[in-house]
Amino acid sequence: MAMVPLDYARSFMIGKSPLNEVRIWVESRTRIIDERDGVTEDYIQCASCKSEHTFAEKDLFQEDNFDFLPVFGPEYTLIYRRKAWLNPNYRSCLKTVDLWDGPAERFVESSALQELTTPREILQATYDNRPIVAQTEIWNSDTGLRAIIEYPVKSLNTIRKGDIYQIDTGPLAFPDLAQRSEKLVDLISLAFVAFNAPHFADFVIEVPTTIETAPGTDGTQVYHYSRIVSLDAENRLYAAT
């Protein structure tokens, strides 16, 4: 399923509530396709901010502060609230219309794009300081689920000799396609992606992770990017011309 890349420098979600028309930058877009049922849903992962007393006269940041990151879907939205400890409300799901009266999409599709089909083209676009957007397509034949994960490339390693590159960027909304769920939103976790070839992608996923205080002892748990999976994929890169 073709998906025209967004211009991520100019794409936002904007709240409709008259009490807070918040504007949040779009960081990734994940399209989940249920090939059995013919259902397609887009999930928009936005930039993280800190918990705050919005529009207060002073003391704007909340005590016991936490990262706040939303992932907007057509019917349901995920909210991630990451504290320094394993807080039970880290991940919550609510109706999209119940958050800021349902945000409006303010997307700008990229125009005049070049698909980068060789390592040499990827390196040249990097050295020319051109914005680059990636699409990583993954699938699971057993569940009949497919997804296209799209994101601006924030970190890109290169070696001129040999035309070697490696993408490493995130966070993004990663769907676990190995399972089926009544709601597609339940498949999503936060992750980073890495790849250096067109046919696979590695993901490191945020999960409860133990901090050991001494070898062999139980320690405190926090949310951290620690679960690693490697998947067959089709990676596509586009650069603004």
The predicted pLDDT at position 1 comes to: 59
pLDDT of 218 > 80? The answer is no
Interacting residues of 55 by C-beta distance below 8 A, sequence separation 6+:
20
pLDDT of 2 > 80? The answer is no
pTM (2 d.p.):
0.94
pLDDT of 215 > 90? The answer is no
Task: Say which range, 89-98, 205-214, 225-234, has the weakest mean pLDDT.
Answer: 205-214
SS3 readout for the chain: CCCCCECHHHCEEECCCCCCCCEEEEEEEEEEEECCCCEEEEEEEECCEECECCCCCCCCECCCCCEEEEEECCCEEEEEEECCCCCCCCEEEEEHHHCCCCCEEECCECCCEEEECCHHHHHHHHHCCCCEEEEEEEEECCCCEEEEEEEECCCEEEECCCCEEEEEEEEEEEECCCCCCCCHHHHEEEEEEEECCCCEEEEEEEEEEEECCCCCCCCEEEEEEEEEEEEECEEEEEEEC
Decide: 90 and 82 in contact? Cβ < 8 Å. Answer: yes
The predicted pLDDT at position 12 comes to: 97
* Distance of alpha carbon 185 from alpha carbon 143, whole angstroms: 15
pLDDT of 219 > 80? The answer is no
